[in-house]
Structure 1
């Protein structure tokens, strides 16, 4: 019974910590993708236990190049990760990825999906919107709605089932965003095929 009464106070504390962490990050980091005010939006979307953590820039294509293998090597030991993508048409979107990217090697099958329902995708520009796993809101979902994350040496995929929410190729050039069953999302950019202008990936500690 006491827990029920404490829930509002706990929520307030979490929201305060979200603001503190985001403010500290605002003052110490520079991004080539998002504006600082957009960071606060992202922090309200994160699971509470990660929203109070300090983010760490693990990979940026501006410094580390556009090889997907380089991206994997720099981020795969971190869980979770937050991916930001800016296209050559200046649209901004991304994903919160719940699991280690090294988990892509757990199966001998090519592009075996992994991950949990905490994974979500989002757009920041030209509009802000979060797409959560459909299983959070619907009791009966198809098996294809459990396709969260997948990857191999030539492709990184987020979301699946009749399309991929985000798919990056080996050089971040010939990429695409489509509707998928996992998130029941609209394509995250106006042209479903896109080229990455900048990609950044963050971990938490």
Structure 2
């Protein structure tokens, strides 16, 4: 229901803006024609304007009017695109997304925590350190023989461990050479909004994040 309200308001705003811009363009065209007629009526009889001059000035006003119409069309398309983004984004509410970040997600069924990472190239050994809010390492997950691309991991915390605000750090090596590893986290979409025409997701743990930063949708 709120989406329809947003769409209706946006459509009315776009229509009002288009009408205003069209009226302004028509007014400018009328002023130009009146000035041109006045100029021709008061021109020097011994040195009148030639056809090329008149044609040139008429072409200028036609070009300006055409640009105004093009701008109005683009503005209308932009408004329609924003409405489509909102409608598509509404389907993401309540769903999980994968994006860059190092916060651990808790599996409500098993109690395990997990995350992911993306390797720039293959790694013979990957070490994932589980860190609490104080910076202490609570545990370590070691993986071997991982190819380039996205990987995942899970860690089962000891009983009684506070699993809130846990983060992780990834260190990857290919024999003795360091491999770049980007941490990936999962989060839940609570709501959506648009900021300056950009679709933004309001995440449970990650705050406001641009939709363009989402790498996958659960």
| TM-score, normalising length: structure 1 | 0.23
Rg comparison, structure with higher value: 2
**Which structure has the highest helix share of the two?**
2
